Structure formats: C-alpha cells, structure tokens
Amino acid sequence: MSSADNRRNVRAGYRNGGATVEGLIQNVDFSHPSLNDSLEGEIQAFLINEDQLHTYDDLTKVNPVTPTTVLKCLQARYSVKVFYTHAGCTLVALNPFQPVPDLYSLDVMKEYHYASQPQEFKPHIFIVAEEAYRNVQGQLEPVNQSLVVSGESGAGKTWTSRCLMKYYATVAASSSVMKSQDTVERIERRVLDSNPIMEAFGNACTLRNNNSSRFGKYIQLQLDRCQLLVGASVQTYLLEKTRVTCQPANERNFHIFYQMMKGATDQQRKEWMMSQDQCFAWLPNSEKTVEEDCFDETVEAMVHLGIHAERQQQIFRILAGILQLGNVSFSSSTDESQTCHLSEQSEDFLQRAAELLCVPAEELQTCLRVRTLKAGKQNVLKPCSQAECSVRRDCLAKLIYAQLFEWIVTFINNSICADKSTWCNFIGVLDVYGFECFQINNLEQLCINYANEKLQQHFVAHYLRAQQEEYVSEGLQWSFVKYQDNQSCLDLIEGSPISVFSLLNEESRLNRASDAKMFRVRLEKELSDNGNISWDKFSKVPHFTVAHYAGRVNYQIEGMVEKNKDPVPAELINLFEKSDNPLLQEIFADKKTENPTNRGLSKVTVVSKFKNSLENLMKILHTTTPHYTRCIKPNPDCKPLTFKKEEVIMQLEACGIVETIHISAAGFPIRIPFQSFMKRYGLIAKYSKLRSQCVDLEADNNDALQQEVKKLLGVALHHLSSDRHSSLVHCGKTKVFLTQAMLDLLEDQRKKILSRCAFSIQCCWLRYQRRRRHTHRQSATLIQAAVRSWLVRKKVRRWNRAAGVIQNKWKKWRTLLKSLAEAELDDAKDVVEEDVPVLNPVVRERGSVQLSTIPEPVPVRGWPMGLALASAPSITVSLTATGFQKMMSAMASLNLPSRRGQYKVTTNQYTEELASIRAQPKGSVKLHCQRSPLLYADRHPDLKSDVRGFNEILLEKTL
C-alpha cells in the first residue's frame, strides 16, 4: 500500500467528538504532529478551489476526506441546487424543501432506466433504484434488495420512499406488453394509492415536519420472473397512537381528522354530527393548513383501493365518534363510592359519540366510569376516579384508532398483495421515523430511537464491520478504519438479561401501580455499568439519559411503565364487540382474540412487541442486498435552500458518513464467492478470443477455483493496462473483491458476449426457420399434387360411371325404339307397299332434333290410321281431330310412347289435302327432344344401326 493510502487510512481512524465544524477539525487526533500539519495543509489546498467543490459527484473522490471537506462539497452542491451526492455505498440526499422541477419526471426515470451505465449519470435516487432493480435482474445472491432510507424527522425519507415506489411502478410496469394493461395499471396505481391513505391516517404535522410519519413502514414490492411489479405488501411499525388523545404543544393530531373537518360536505357534517363551528379538544391548531389536508385525495385513493362508500361511511363515523369522545370531560365526585359526574354538555358529546360508534350511550357511560374487578368468581363494580375515567376514555379512543389503522393496513395488503406463486423476488423500501429528541421524551421516543439504533447497527454490521473483517480474513492488505459501533447502546436498551426494556417489562408485569422514582433507582442500580446511560443528579424529574449514536436524549420515566402496559379494559372490548357498526364489530372481535388480558395470560408489552417486529425486520434485511440512502435535513426550520452547517455536520457525524467514504474509497464494495463468480462470468473466458487461456468452469476445489478465477480475470483485463485495473479487483481466499467500476467492466464484457451469442442463436434460428419453411413448402406441393390427382381420378371414375349409365339408358332407348319400329312395321304390313319414303332427320340445335323430309316426295304405301286421322281436314271428315288430339293420334300411329316433358312430335301432314288413304303422304314430322338433366344427354345416339319402317324414317339422321 502506498504511503498516501496509508495516510488516508490513518486519517480515517479518528473519531470526532465535537459538534461544530471547527471542533471536528480540532479534534482530529493524529499521533504525529507533522501528519496533522500536512492534513491541515491538504484541507486548505483542497478548499481553495471553491468553485470546483460542487463538481464532486462522489465524495470518495474528495481528498482528503474529512468532515470539513465533505461538508464544504455538500454545501457547494446544495448552493447550485444539486441535491444528491454519492458517498461510496451510500447516497446522500439533501432536502431542498421546495419542489424541484423535472427532477423526478417520467423522462428522467426513463433516462436512468434505459441507460447502459446509470452510475455515469448525475447522482440521483433513481440510480439507487435502478441498481437494486438490475441486481434482481442479475440474480446475484442475495437477489432480494432492501432500500434503507434513514435520516432525522423532516429529512425527506417519506418523500424519497414515494419517489422509489413511483420509479418501480413506472419502470417495472412499463415494459409489460404481454400483460393486460388493465391489471398492470391497477396494481401500480393501487400500490401508489396506498400512500395517501396511510399518510392521512399515520402522519401528522409536528414541529419538525408538517408531514411527519408517526409510524414506521417496510414496503415490499413484489416482482415476477420478468421483474415486473405484480403486487406489494406493507408492514407497519408502532403507530404513535397517543397522538390521538394527546398532542404535543404546537403540533397536530393525525391528518385525517383535519381532512374530515375541512373537506366534509354539509351532508357529511350532518351525518357525522360535526357542525362547522364545533371545536374539538383533540384537534388543536386546526387553523393551521398544511399541504396534506386534502380529503378528496384520500377518499379517491380509498375508492381505488376498493374501500366502498358504505365502508368509508363506517370509517368516518368512527373517527367522528372519537372526536366527540374527546370533548367528554369528567368532574370528580365528592364521594368515592359514587361515579364521576358529567356536565350537561359532556353528556351531549357522549350521547353523540355513542350514536356515532353505534353503542348504547348508557353502557358507554358505565364502561367509562365504572371498573369491573374480579373477586373470585364474582364481578365487583368499582367507580373510577376522575383521572381514571379520563384514562379510560383516552384508552378507548387510542384503541379504536389503532385498531382502525391496523384494519386499513390489512385491507391495503389484501388489495395489493400478489399471490405467493406469482412473484419470486422483492425490493423492500424501509421508511422508519427519524431519530427524535424533544424537550420531553417518553416511551414513544425510546422506541423510535431504538429502531434507528437498530438500523444504524445494521449499517455498521453490514458495511463498516463485516466488510473490513472480511478483507482481513480473505487476505487483503487492509488498515482497519475505526468506526462508531453502537452495540453498547443497543445492549443498554434491549440486551439480555438486564436492559432498559427488560426492566420496563418486569415493572409492567407487576400487578401494582408503578413508581417513577423507584424505577429510576432500579435502573441506576442495574445499568450504571453501561457508559451509554447517565442521570442528572440534580434533576427532580425522574429520568435517564441515553447516549445514542445520533446524540443524547433525556427520557422521562413518569408514565413510561403505564404506556408499556398499554392496558385495555375488557369491558370496553365487550361493549364495542356488540357495536352496530359492522367495522367496529369486526375490529373488536379481532382484538378480543389477541388481547391476553382477557384470558389472564402473561401480558405482551409494547416494547416486547416492538422488539419482536424489529427483529423480524432485521432478519429480512440480513437476507437482502441493502442500499443506503441518508437523507439530510439542511436546516431545522424547513426553509427552502437554506444550508446550516452545524445542523448538517451533526447528521453526517451521526450516520458515520466519513468512515463510510473512507471504506468505500479504499475498499471493494462488491464481494462475490468464486463459484458464483465463475457461474456468471465464466463465459467471458469461454467465448474470449484468447483461447489459450482456457478456463475450467467445472473446477470444484477452492484452490483450483481460485486459479480459474485469476485466469478469468486475466482474460477480462488483458486488453486493459494492468496498472490501472489491478486496483479494481482483488482475488481473496474464497471470494473476488470488486469495485463498482470493475463490476461494470465485467458486466459490459458479459453483455457483449451474450449479445454475440444471441446473434449467433438468432442466425441459426433464422436458418433453421428458412429450411423448415422450404421443406414445408415442398411437402405442401407434394400433398397438393397427390390430392389433385386423387380428385381427378375420382372425377374420371364418376364420369365413367355416368357414361355407363347413359350408355345403358341409350341402349335401352334404342332397344325400345327398335321394338317400336318393329311393331310399327308389323302393323303396317298390310297397307304398306314397296318404296317406303326415307326421311332424313337434321339436327338443328342442341336438344332438338328436326326431322325434315327430303325434297322429293317420298312414296308411302299406306297411311297409318292415326296419321290419316291426324291429317284429315276437319270439314270433310266427320272424325275430326284437333290440337292435342292430332298430336296424340300422330304419336299413336307412329307407336311412340307418350313421355311427358321429354319430347314432342309435330307434323305438317294434316296440312296436306288427303286425297286418298293410299296416296303417298307428303310433309315432315318433327320430334322435339326436351333438354335432359342427364350429363351428356346432348350426345347423339349412334345412328348407324339399321332401323326399318316408318319410325326409322323419322329418327334416321343424315350427317
């Protein structure tokens, strides 16, 4: 390692004790005075280029890395309205406290999403989002990702979480061409719509932030195999329910109450029994309007999520009931055996509350004023004191609100959560309340600060400690960077067997009223060994002070044990379980099954519940790849573009940003086990042009694997100058350590190879398709030819059959004609002389055969009788035939069978004068054949055969 590097790491080893910038610089403790002087000189030299400071996108490039240089860079960037800066593995986000046009637009999202190297773009929260998204795509273990957003109250955590959710709802859904647009829109919209609802019910205006989250949340965005957003689930942590009944000075209750007050229509006011001018004790500072007071938006989001109008009505009636309950006050009774009095006005409020909550007013009044004690098997009723009545009223309101909040979260989850079979990976976004230190801090602040300690510990353990320990164990040359470990603070709060939480739980489980002073003494006795707890000996108020990683906080002991017990009177649960409001019924039925006080089981205290839920969260975080975003609040008054150095340096100091930068600058943030490395990047060697460096991808023992990895890295780096790139990668004993730049390089090469492979596959596929198409075409032609020939054969066979039928018929016809002709000849034997005239039929047209006489008169030896009759003139012969009769007689005389519709015979014989029956007949006979339905019926019969007699004359044809 170079001497400059050494110096750098030595510098990183100091801890800062002071809070001011100057103090921090002065507190730098180097063993060698000359080192100190040179550092001072370097800082001055660095800061001299003031107009260059804003150009440092990544604080790891700052040299030297000290709180001052880091602070100055951030300040310079803030002054030119650049709000994001990389600090190694962490992204620092400065709150602008004013909307920044086009910083989060759709186009910007797309720009980061489609960039081949988003890291080369300006630092942005979308880089963190995209990196996590690409990690899921890359499937490098651990595949699931967590985006941890931390910072103090008002620093911008909720804003950042919202940006992240919007980003995923856009990029993880926009490419979903295959899915029904409807489903996609519904899911992403629902996920986003869960925000306004949860913020309305869980956020409040505090002194530090107008939209302060009063609960913690971990949102799991569920992605399917194609990395598309298919659902989400929300896990919430410790809602600050005391705010419902008790709001710190100058702060407000939860937003939803003000939204109702300000946004209700007259009709709704009537239904909720809240007139325009009514004041509510639990709604202080209602004249203050904040951006979040938008009732319509909340209702719209409810509609989108599927909370129908009737349900909404039930919810708002419950909230209105809580507000009325807050106006009920009790006055003490002189006689302890008597219940407390209610003023006339309070009775009215109680009546309205009962009506809105759909319970009998009488019973509600009794529940609030009378306690039921168990004495053996008997119930003893004991009137409550004025203070107890108020506590019971507050307890009821908090209980209803907390249960309602839980119901809403469950509803949201049911509405947006995808079936487990449909998603395989997730990206979690963690937004917990920021570190809090007020004038008076109690159990809520202890829990909130404990959660922040846990997250800080996760960061320290995951990044600052584990990373450095791993470098050493993997044989990397590494000078340890010291960091502030908050383990001892966590031991103080949650450790076993003795800690603040364990003592609190012990005290809470005792069946007696707790004494704050006695508890303080106990704490001091048991925990004084831990350096993170202290007491102000002169303070009269029982308290203890904890030195958190982010600062010292005084906790008031009074009321802490009671809050930890969080008792719920069973009478109240029993009463509300019977409420006519179906929603109240539902949430109280659930409460009854979980409330152990009803079953006499050991009590589950607030801190033990919270500790368990945080431990579960930590388990999830440990199984995912974390990405840290540190939100910084540049000034305490939330003023736009105002940078207060003291305020910022405290926050940078608290989250250990300087140590993080040091470790990131010198270290290798990416660590991949050999096996996984070979699996992912083995193809670089396999498909490389350097065939000589053949890598064995199947190597299974660690040393062999290490050799193969080295070869592979050699291949990957062969065209790059080794001096430059040897610092980007280190091959450890079981893992490869990489910088982000090296990872990008490898990914780039891998992508190129994959795209070459894809190109080859596409070519093969196209060739194969072409060949297949050709074969298909040939086969089709063959099949078509076969089918055509089969059809033709079939047709020919049909024709042949038809021809056979026709021939048959024709033969029959000829036989018939012949027989007729013979019969005719027989009939005419007696009268017919020699020299029979021959008539030549002439075919005139298809379907009609005209028999025309030859020009010369043909001698007929004798007239058939019918013909004679048909030819007889009507005046001379008494046996006259006309029209049809004539034709029939002609046919009969010619012995033609009568077939209706097939032919018709006409003759002009009768137009000739019949001189004698023996005279030779003259004229023509026509035989009209009608068109036959038979195929080939227009074929002329074979006329060559001999037909004799008169009929022969009629039918014979001269061609």
Ligand X SMILES: Nc1ncnc2c1ncn2[C@@H]1O[C@H](COP(=O)(O)OP(=O)(O)OP(=O)(O)O)[C@@H](O)[C@H]1O
Which residue numbers are catalytic?
153-154, 158, 209, 212-213, 434, 436
Query: Between residues 433 and 459, which has the closer beta carbon with respect to ligand X?
Result: 433
Q: How many residues bind ligand X (CB under 6 A)?
A: 22
CA distances from 264 to 312, 603, 769 (A): 13, 41, 66
Residues 434-493 that bind ligand X (CB under 6 A): 434
Query: Between residues 154 and 862, which has the closer beta carbon with respect to ligand X?
Result: 154
Q: How far is the CB of 206 from ligand X (least distance, A)?
A: 7
Q: How far is the CB of 635 from ligand X (least distance, A)?
A: 11
100 C-beta neighbours (distance < 10 Å), count:
9
Annotated binding residue at 176?
no
Q: Which stretch binds ligand X (CB under 6 A): 137-145, 148-156, 322-330, 331-339?
A: 148-156
Q: ∠ CA 344-345-347 to the nearest 5 degrees?
A: 65
Distance of alpha carbon 818 from alpha carbon 955, whole angstroms: 11
Q: How far is the CB of 163 from ligand X (least distance, A)?
A: 7
Query: Between residues 74 and 678, which has the closer beta carbon with respect to ligand X?
Result: 74
Query: Between residues 617 and 955, which has the closer beta carbon with respect to ligand X?
Result: 617
With CB under 6 A as the contact rule, the residue among 209, 222, 441, 457 that binds ligand X is 209
Q: Looking at the DSSP assignment, which residues form a beta bridge with residue 738?
A: 670, 729
Q: Tokens for 282?
A: 């639990």
Question: Pattern 417-436, binding to ligand X, x per CB under 6 A?
Answer: ----------------xx--
Q: Tokens for 467?
A: 């990373």
Q: Tokens for 498?
A: 């003795």
Q: How far is the CB of 124 from ligand X (least distance, A)?
A: 10
Backbone angles phi, psi at 771, to 5 degrees: -65, -40
Instruction: Say whether residue 906 binds ligand X (CB under 6 A).
Output: no
148 sits in which H/E element: strand 145-150
Q: How far is the CB of 219 from ligand X (least distance, A)?
A: 13
Nearest to 430 by CA among 630, 605, 291, 595: 630
Instruction: Say whether residue 151 binds ligand X (CB under 6 A).
Output: yes
Cβ contacts of 931-940, under 8 Å, gap ≥ 24? 931/846, 931/847, 932/847, 932/902, 934/805, 934/806, 934/809, 935/799, 935/802, 935/806, 936/802, 936/803, 936/806, 937/806, 937/847, 938/846, 938/847, 939/806, 940/843
Query: Between residues 292 and 571, which has the closer beta carbon with respect to ligand X?
Result: 292
Annotated binding residue at 901?
no
With CB under 6 A as the contact rule, the residue among 11, 54, 77, 157 that binds ligand X is 157
- C-alpha Rg value of the chain to the nearest Å: 52
Query: Between residues 445 and 499, which has the closer beta carbon with respect to ligand X?
Result: 445
Q: Tokens for 444?
A: 């809520």
Query: Between residues 553 and 736, which has the closer beta carbon with respect to ligand X?
Result: 553
Q: How far is the CB of 47 from ligand X (least distance, A)?
A: 27
What single-letter DSSP state applies at residue 222?
E
Residues whose CB is less than 8 angstroms from the CB of residue 409 and which lie 6 or more positions away in sequence, other chains included: 198, 234, 236
Annotated binding residue at 131?
no
Q: Which stretch binds ligand X (CB under 6 A): 152-160, 175-183, 339-347, 686-694?
A: 152-160
Residues 631-660 that bind ligand X (CB under 6 A): 631
Q: How far is the CB of 651 from ligand X (least distance, A)?
A: 11
Question: Pattern 87-126, binding to ligand X, x per CB under 6 A?
Answer: --------xxxxxx--------------------------
Q: Which amino acid is at 850?
A: Q
Annotated binding residue at 151?
yes
Q: Please count the helices (runs of H) and the strands (runs of E) in the chain.
A: 33, 23
**Count of residues in the chain:** 959
Q: Which stretch binds ligand X (CB under 6 A): 208-216, 402-410, 769-777, 916-924?
A: 208-216
> Which stretches of 13-66 are DSSP H helices?
21-26, 33-48
Nearest to 715 by CA among 738, 681, 759, 739: 681
Q: How far is the CB of 213 from ligand X (least distance, A)?
A: 3
Q: How far is the CB of 153 from ligand X (least distance, A)?
A: 3
Residue 762, Cα to own-chain centre: how many angstroms? 31
Distance of alpha carbon 125 from alpha carbon 40, whole angstroms: 33
Question: Pattern 928-947, binding to ligand X, x per CB under 6 A?
Answer: --------------------
Annotated binding residue at 300?
no
Annotated binding residue at 155?
yes
Nearest to 430 by CA among 416, 399, 451, 412: 451
Question: Pattern 757-796, binding to ligand X, x per CB under 6 A?
Answer: ----------------------------------------
Q: Which stretch binds ligand X (CB under 6 A): 157-165, 272-280, 615-623, 681-689?
A: 157-165
Instruction: Say whether residue 235 binds ligand X (CB under 6 A).
Output: no
Annotated binding residue at 152?
yes
CB-based contact 918:847 (threshold 8 Å): no
CB-based contact 887:927 (threshold 8 Å): no
With CB under 6 A as the contact rule, the residue among 158, 505, 706, 909 that binds ligand X is 158
Annotated binding residue at 847?
no
Query: Between residues 95 and 327, which has the closer beta carbon with respect to ligand X?
Result: 95
Q: Tokens for 76?
A: 């310079």
Q: Which stretch binds ligand X (CB under 6 A): 54-62, 204-212, 274-282, 352-360?
A: 204-212
Query: Between residues 581 and 629, which has the closer beta carbon with respect to ligand X?
Result: 629
Summarize the annotated binding site as residue ranges.
151-158
Summarize the annotated binding site for ATP as residue ranges.
151-158
Q: Which residues bind ligand X (CB under 6 A)?
A: 95-100, 151, 153-159, 209-213, 433-434, 631
